[in-house]
Amino acid sequence: MKVLVAVKRVIDYNVKIRVKADNTGVETANVKMSMNPFDEIAVEEAIRMKEKGAATEVIAFSAGPAQCQETIRTALAMGADRGILVQADGELQPLAVAKLLKAVVEKEQPGLVIVGKQAIDDDSNQTGQMLAALLGWSQGTFANKINVADGSVEVKREVDGGLENIKIKMPAVITTDLRLNEPRYASLPNIMKAKKKPIETLAPDALGVDVAPRLKTLKVEEPPKRKAGIKVKTVAELVDKLKNEAGVI
Amino acid sequence: MAILVVAAHDGKTVRANVANAVTAAGQMGSDVTVLVAGSGADEAAKSAAAIQGVAKVLQADDAAYANWLAEDIAPLVVKLAPNYSHVVMAADSVGKNIAPRVAALLDVAQVSEAIQVVSPDTFVRPIYAGNAMATVQTADKVKVVTIRPTNFKAAAAGGSAAIEKIGGEGAKGLSSYVGAELSKSERPELTSAKIVVSGGRGLQSGENFKMLETLADKLGAGLGASRAAVDAGYVPNDYQVGQTGKVVAPDLYIAIGISGAIQHLAGMKDSKTIVAINKDEEAPIFQVADYGLVGDLFQIVPELTAAVEKK
């Protein structure tokens, strides 16, 4: 069984972002970029499947500008076998990415697609569900644990009140939660080896997908700032403030 | 414009956040219908009909809907959608699972976690863990929107909408429900609690969380945690407040032994009053706290618990 993982290049999670002065978006020039943390977990899970013999090949997919090659290389260094880059400049929204993924899935015929549950830049939490819908496949979202067994996948999901167990038919789309696994670091020899692994570059047109954004972003602004607070010295002072100044207890 | 709100429920009552979704829906149009899908969900349908501002409740009875599997619920919503301008769900784990599947089947974009309705086609939503606010406009015929419940007041009770029973679409056979492992708690539900007491890595062990439980119980508060505390195994993961956990906006949020990483702030910085208790004077949490107390939490928390008791 082939496993396809989708990885996104995003601003590194440690970076304090800056909104552009003209309110058209967030400053991305000269900002550290890395693989979306949820996608690292997706790559790790796919590689573990290969190590256990449940998967035969792991393909890393990314869509976006040419620099997404680096993100794919990271996945290859972690252990993925080859990469597919759909090169497109400009904003790609979840529905467009899901359609690109669908086209690649139809070409590659994987048994499982694993994606992160959300990208930490747009915070949409949509692509995996949309891909499952477009393919007519089952979905195991917010996966905490997965177990591939004979034509189906047992998925433990993180839901509001705790955990939920479901069994979904393969082929399927899985989206990863943070606690699914702990991603490995790519070692230097593996980073060197990854440079020799193939990355195929495709264009949205060749896949027959219109990637024009469907949601129009009118403006991006800074959130309202909280007023600076005060430091209190004692518990008694804190309780007094909460009671008499803030009126919350 | 008619709006369809898809309501999650436990069979007896719809989730509390459905009342918030009804308020948001009321800002998008005027004719709000609530869909209650389930198996023998008469009571849940009645609880939806009792929300003010609801014009009609559609009750879809089908064993396939018993456990909220996206593969089975989405086709029902998709079938109803052409009669509505908007499909609205609360952005909880049910809404996030189902709404994008519905949107893709309708070939429309989805707006995630709207915090403000600017006009029927324009919404404000947080991006980058709440560090930027994007105003987005959709031209799609059916607008699929999930709303962040803490940003909309809950519609009051006292409504009396008519309940119409409709048929189901049956099971698609793609997935099945096996069971759940839910964490039990007597405390108020985290996302709707007026006061939230939250602990982080500074607590050092799950055992020490008992200290926060006592404080929370004295205050009638919900109990939350940072990702660090969850990952360290101190508390179950449904306690997690943050970008990847729950978003809360209580009147009072008490962060104890939490440094205040971006990820955590995304889940609580809309709280009315924030209190930080931390031994590190430089902890970023103090930049958003209205009241900060620098010191050893193992000394401060029992003292605070005693002081609250006296009030």
Q: What is the pLDDT of residues B81-92, one digit of tens each?
A: 999 999 999 999
**Cα dihedral B87, A122, A169, A147 in deg (nearest 10):** -140
Helix axes A94-108, B93-105, angle to 10 degrees: 70
Contacts of A26 in chain B (CB under 8 A): 127-128, 132
Query: Which of B:190-229 have CB within 8 Å of A?
Result: 195, 219, 227
User: Does the beta carbon of A113 lie under 8 angstroms from any beta carbon of chain B?
Assistant: no
pLDDT at position A134: 98
CB A87 within 8 A of CB A65: yes
Query: Which of B:34-63 have CB within 8 Å of A?
Result: none
| Number of Cβ within a 10 Å radius of residue B83 | 10
The β-bridge relationship of strands A162-169 and B175-182 is antiparallel
Query: Which of A:193-222 have CB within 8 Å of B?
Result: 214-222
Per-residue buried b or exposed e for A47-65, using 16+ beta carbons within 10 Å of the residue's own CB: bbbbeeebbeebbbbbbbe
Best CA proximity match to B65, nearest among B40, B34, B42: B40
Is the CB of B134 less than 8 angstroms away from the CB of A217? Answer: yes
CB B113 within 8 A of CB A190: no
Cα–Cα dist A223/B125, whole Å: 10
User: Does the beta carbon of A123 lie under 8 angstroms from any beta carbon of chain B?
Assistant: yes
Contacts of A161 in chain B (CB under 8 A): 180, 182-183, 238
Contacts of A138 in chain B (CB under 8 A): 71, 174-175
Euclidean distance between the first and final Cα of chain B, in Å? 50
User: Does the beta carbon of A120 lie under 8 angstroms from any beta carbon of chain B?
Assistant: yes
pLDDT at position B310: 64
Q: How many CB pairs under 8 A join A and B?
A: 251
Is the CB of B103 less than 8 angstroms away from the CB of A126? Answer: yes
Q: Which of A131, A214, A220 shows the shortest C-beta gap to B134? A: A220
Tokens of B261: 């990483």
Mean pLDDT by groups of 10 residues along chain A of 249 residues = 98 96 96 98 98 97 98 98 97 98 98 98 98 98 95 96 96 97 97 98 97 97 90 96 93
**pLDDT tens digits for range B134-155:** 999 999 999 999 999 999 999 9
CB B208 within 8 A of CB B182: no
In whole angstroms, how large is the CA radius of gyration of chain A? Answer: 21
Residue B183 binned pLDDT confidence (cut-offs 50, 70, 90): confident
Give the list of residues 6+ apart from residue A226 with CB closer than 8 angstroms, or none: B269, B274, B288, B290
pLDDT at position A227: 82
User: Does the beta carbon of A1 lie under 8 angstroms from any beta carbon of chain B?
Assistant: no
How far apart are the CA of A193 and the nearest CA of chain B, in angstroms?
32
Cα–Cα dist B35/B42, whole Å: 12
Is the CB of B293 less than 8 angstroms away from the CB of A232? Answer: yes
pLDDT at position B289: 97
Is the CB of A139 less than 8 angstroms away from the CB of B103? Answer: no
Residue of B nearest to A37 (CA): B244
Best CA proximity match to B104, nearest among A99, A123, A133, A100: A133
Q: Which of B174, B274, B300 shows the shortest C-beta gap to A138? A: B174
Q: Which of B130, B175, B274 shows the shortest C-beta gap to A168? A: B175
How far apart are the CA of A19 and the nearest CA of chain B, in angstroms?
7
Best A39, A121, A125 member to test B by mutation, with max B CBs in 10 Å, is A125
Best CA proximity match to B275, nearest among B256, B291, B298: B291
User: Does the beta carbon of A139 lie under 8 angstroms from any beta carbon of chain B?
Assistant: yes
Is the CB of B112 less than 8 angstroms away from the CB of A123? Answer: yes
User: Does the beta carbon of B1 lie under 8 angstroms from any beta carbon of chain A?
Assistant: no
Query: In the predicted model, what is the mean pLDDT of chain B?
Result: 96
Tokens of B67: 């456990």
Is the CB of B101 less than 8 angstroms away from the CB of A130? Answer: yes
**pLDDT tens digits for range A31-44:** 999 999 999 999 99
**pLDDT tens digits for range B190-204:** 999 999 999 999 999
Tokens of A188: 């230097």
Contacts of B177 in chain A (CB under 8 A): 164-166
User: Does the beta carbon of A138 lie under 8 angstroms from any beta carbon of chain B?
Assistant: yes
CB A76 within 8 A of CB A108: no
The β-bridge relationship of strands B122-127 and B195-199 is unpaired
Cα–Cα dist B301/B306, whole Å: 9
Residue B309 binned pLDDT confidence (cut-offs 50, 70, 90): confident
Contacts of B262 in chain A (CB under 8 A): 13, 16
pLDDT at position A228: 78
Is the CB of B94 less than 8 angstroms away from the CB of A160? Answer: yes
**pLDDT tens digits for range B68-114:** 999 999 999 999 999 999 999 999 999 999 999 999 999 999 999 99
User: Does the beta carbon of A118 lie under 8 angstroms from any beta carbon of chain B?
Assistant: yes
Q: SS3 sequence, chain A? A: CEEEEECCEEECCCCCCCECCCCCCECCCCCCEEECHHHHHHHHHHHHHHHCCCCCEEEEEEEECCCHHHHHHHHHHHCCCEEEEEECCCCCCHHHHHHHHHHHHHHHCCCEEEEECCCCCCCCCCHHHHHHHHHCCEEEEEEEEEEEECCEEEEEEEECCEEEEEEEECCEEEEECHHHCCCCCCCHHHHHHHCCCCEEEECCHHHCCCCCCCEEEEEEECCCCCCCCEEECCHHHHHHHHHHHCCCC
**Cα dihedral B100, B105, B111, B112 in deg (nearest 10):** 0
User: Does the beta carbon of A71 lie under 8 angstroms from any beta carbon of chain B?
Assistant: no
Is the CB of B180 less than 8 angstroms away from the CB of A118? Answer: no
User: Does the beta carbon of A127 lie under 8 angstroms from any beta carbon of chain B?
Assistant: yes
CB B270 within 8 A of CB B285: no
CB B237 within 8 A of CB B188: no
Is the CB of A133 less than 8 angstroms away from the CB of B132? Answer: no
Query: Which of B:109-128 have CB within 8 Å of A?
Result: 109-113, 122, 125-128
pTM of the model: 0.96
ipTM metric: 0.96
Residue of A nearest to B221 (CA): A249
Contacts of B143 in chain A (CB under 8 A): none
Cα–Cα dist B97/A140, whole Å: 9
Cα–Cα dist A148/A155, whole Å: 9
pLDDT at position B311: 53
Best CA proximity match to B256, nearest among B213, B193, B308, B220: B213
